[in-house]
Chains A and B, each alone.
Chain A
Amino acid sequence: MSIALRLENIRKTIGELALEMNLSVERGELLSLIGPSGCGKSTTLNIISGLLEPDDGRVFIGDGDVTDLPPEKRECAVVFQDYALFPTMDVYHNVAYPLSVRRRNRSYTRQRVGELLELVNLGNFAKRQIGSLSGGEKQRVALARALAASPAVLLLDEPLSALDAQLRLRLRSEIHSIQQTLGQTMVYVTHDREEALAISDRICVMRNGRIEQIGTPQQVYREPANRFVASFMGPGCTIPCELALSCLSTSAFDRTRLPEIPGSGQNTVFFRPEDVSPALPGPLYSRLLFPGCTIIKSEYRGDCWDLTCSYKTALLKARVRRAPTSQTLDLEVRLDNTIVFAGDRRIEPKA
């Protein structure tokens, strides 16, 4: 695989934000940038597109150094959150815009715009005015317009955040399938972790202008590099290692899997609510057992219940399939579903 985009030692300071980045995106890959607001994900996007100049570092697209090129010379179109469709042109002329800027001949333009509108399921919308479109239609036009530029990298800046929940689901899968069909390299900025998990080849989790972790969706969810990534990618509970040790179901063998640095007391064990379940009698596989938890809060979610329980000094969150029958219950979590953090960093379990 060849590299489509590379950021090398990028630095940029804007107000509170101090961005520092090294990043490379492979051809045909969909990379998501995710993080809390103000973490620098949109800034990164603007540096890639050339709308912002980095203080330091280089931007490469393909093999070329584009750091000193203006946006119009970079071949990376952007889909903006507010669509940024030109209200003075109809749908056809919006999509044809990149082609007309590049002085493509008319028959080619007509054919290409037609194809792109078909691709985004807006086949007969060519003559429509922008004002008459719904939010979802506008975003589709914006996508078609960006694709018309045949960008080396397509940048999407929170493209779905102005839409309602159902439409968001549908459009994200459409974007995903277009990306797959065309093999289009994309950098996708979002603050919605579900969106990122659903469509990304890789996710880049950012905080305070720095990359916390880059990895596949499974990696950042199941093997977060640190406590921030773990909690940003989804809910979970954290309990002190000492407490976890006292809950071990079986042998001294398991003890070695929960390394505790003596005296520090800083190590913690982390696990996700969907891995917590009512304790079952049965074979004694390696697990943490929490007998007699008291339910503090129970929320019904349709396909499951989200329980918040107290166990000794800790609060546990569990996602269970069946309604709890009493105020107390025994919970368990399999040891291989737990993550151990020494301070902030994750420690690899010993085999």
Chain B
Amino acid sequence: MSPTKGRTGKGLLLLTPLPAGVLLIVLFFVPLLYTTGGAFIVDGRFSLKRIALILSDPYSLSVIGFTFRQALVSTLFSVAAGLPGAWLIGNCDFPGRRILKSVCMIPFVLPPILLVLGFVIFYGNNGYLNRALMALFGLSQPPLRILYSYWAIIAAHTFYNFPVVMSLTGSAWEQMDRSCEMASRTLGAGRFRTFVSVTLPRLLPAVLSSALLVFLFCFTSFAVVLVLGGGPRFTTIEVEIYNQARRLMNTDQAAALALVSLFVCIVVVITDIMLQKPVEGLRPAGDRRSAGKGKAWALVYALLLGFFVLAPLVSVVVRSFVGSATRAGEKHFSIEQYRGLFSGSVGQALAGSLIIAASVCIVALFCSLSLCVYLRRRKSGFLETVAMFPMAVSSIIVGLGYYTVSRLLGNISAHVLIVLAHTVLVIPFAIRTILPVYRALPQSLINSSRTLGCTPAGTFFRVELPLLRPILLTAGAFAFAISFGEMNATMMLSTGTVQTLPVLIYRLTDSYNYQGACALGSVLMLVCFGVFALGQASRRESTARASEEKK
């Protein structure tokens, strides 16, 4: 029996939730409530008219209906495409397994705008795939016309999200204790029977949870729909919120739509939390079956993965070097787009993005860490939920909140607004990354430092912080990458003077300047991968140390 809580410097400890708490209340809850509150005010009085209007207006209803439909279909496709990969990751040992797992991380690392860009470049009517097919079969017309259609949206969502299913379900499968399956087989059940009655029930929570996450992503998807859908037929709630607020200047209508989206997201998140019960019988992998059959499947799957996910990304890089004097002019190798990177509006966007991401990284890490200091010592379900809440709210809605409030307050620099909005979006991710590791630090280390004569604050800096360094690096990398690639809230907030890299990519794509967009996209990709690799390296360092400790 060891005490879980030592006596700590109580005065100081009570201050630690303040940075994150104040930040979230002032910068998240107040704008959110103020904005959504706007949906209830008609002519200065409380009224449900606007909500009722939304729910009876055929156009709004069709937008809501389309949002649901595309999210549902995208989720189904993602699960169907992701499950075989999950099986591979969870059950087979083959060369390149780690690469496959890393590829799965792409959606978590790369911003959607990049994938959309890659999608257009590769699958577009004038894209690499069509041109290859035309050259191959001597066609005069591009055979695949998938861009700007319902199926383009579904396909992009599926390509972007099936790795989520693959990695989440796969790692659950990987950690599942094999002894249950072995027991079932020795008790006389066949392969199929064992899968249905032993494996599947234990796997289902992970499948459902990843499906819900994908649904959430697709439901609140912005960049994909904005670029590939666009017209009134293919508009989702998020895009419509953007249209209403920034193009039609009708923030109250946007607020009413935000309320609908918010409701759905919260329901999904709560469902997910309720589904998550502690899974028994997890243990580190080690006894994976390394079947020869697995190898063949792995090859097939890797090819598909390469075709659907990597090819568009590679074509972005390739396209960035292809220049032409005029629209129809001769194609030739060129690095002219990269020359412009460090000057003019492009240079400003790049610098702006870097400054914003670095600021977000620092502010978010500070707030999250100090909140984690508190949460490690005092369990507070309330504070934890408050800190996680921004996860349930789409970035468009966060942006909308800031936009509405900033119009009230007047002169606030868009840079500052964007940094604050990103910080709010990033804090839940940072806390989710840091807190489990912090909680897993043995209390005896801290107790030991105290009994050896060190004060609580001294113990934090001398013992806890060095132990947390790797995970802080990981969280920092995540924070940086999320902020660097964030487009939605930024578009809601950006004025003519402030551009970030993703927003600029969108604008260039929108104006068919593909080479410019691709050059910026390549830079974005490079930065995201670099930061991600840094984060992964420090995570490996910490897990290596943990396993060394266990010996």
Contacts and interface: CB of A to CB of B under 8 A. Distances in A.
Contacts of A80: 2, 444, 447-448
- Of A53, A82, A84, A146, chain B has the most CB atoms within 10 Å of the CB of A84
Interface in B404-458: 442, 444-445, 447-456, 458
B463 interface: yes
Interface string B1-35: 11100110000000000000000000000000000
B545 A51 contact: no
A109 interface: no
A79 to B, nearest CB: 9
Interface in A27-81: 37-38, 42-43, 46, 49-53, 70-78, 80-81
Contact of A51 (B6, B453, B466, B548): B6
B453 A42 contact: no
A226 B342 CA distance: 86
Interface string A261-278: 000000000000000000
11 contacts: A14-B1, A49-B447, A49-B451, A72-B453, A77-B452, A78-B448, A86-B463, A88-B466, A97-B452, A131-B548, A145-B452
A40 to B, nearest CB: 8
B551 interface: yes
B452 A51 contact: no
A312 interface: no
A86 B455 CA distance: 16
B467 interface: yes
- Of B448, B455, B456, chain A has the most CB atoms within 10 Å of the CB of B448
A101 interface: yes
A87 B450 contact: no
Contacts of A98: 452-453
Interface of B: 1-3, 6-7, 442, 444-445, 447-456, 458, 462-463, 466-467, 469, 545, 548-549, 551
Contact of B7 (A42, A50, A101): A50
A130 B550 CA distance: 11
Interface of A: 14, 17, 37-38, 42-43, 46, 49-53, 70-78, 80-82, 84, 86-89, 97-98, 101-102, 130-132, 145-146, 148-149, 155, 157
B3 A46 contact: yes
B545 A87 contact: yes
B1 A71 contact: no
Given A101-B462, A131-B551, 6 more contacts: A42-B2, A46-B2, A46-B3, A77-B452, A84-B445, A87-B467
B7 A51 contact: yes
Contacts of A132: 548
B549 A74 contact: no
A89 B469 CA distance: 13
- Of B2, B458, B551, chain A has the most CB atoms within 10 Å of the CB of B2
Given A51-B7, A86-B463, A131-B545, A74 B451 contact: yes
Contacts of B455: 70, 72
Contacts of A131: 545, 548-549, 551
